[in-house]
Amino acid sequence: MADGVPIIRKEMGNLLKVLLLLKRPQKILEVGTAVGYSSIPQNCRITTIENYEKRIPVAKNNFKRAGKEEVITLLEGDAMDILKELDGTYDFIFMDAAKGQYINFLPELLRLMPAG
């Protein structure tokens, strides 16, 4: 936790780096932005979802400070509602939201993943 905000641990960050290097996604979906710690992309576009109003401006500021606001789309609101409205597919999906909701998000996430 940083300043009371749950962020991914160093080990998870390292695992994500390896997975991203292997997969080299062009389009990523992140469910659970928090303050944008894990949303700063290298060479791809990210759509990220956050529902907690107090974290949204912090995440936007972090994207701006990193110079990445052109490649990150922050969708504000309940992930379940937003996921139902998304179309197309994503090369990589990172879910770091309310753990109790994962089972409810899963059908929508599977719909947004490419075959295979």
- Asked if residue 49 lies in contact with residue 77, where contact means CB atoms within 8 angstroms, the answer is yes
> Tens of pLDDT along 34-85?
766 566 666 789 999 999 898 899 989 988 998 888 999 999 999 999 999 9
CA dihedral 109, 72, 37, 98 (to 10 degrees): -30
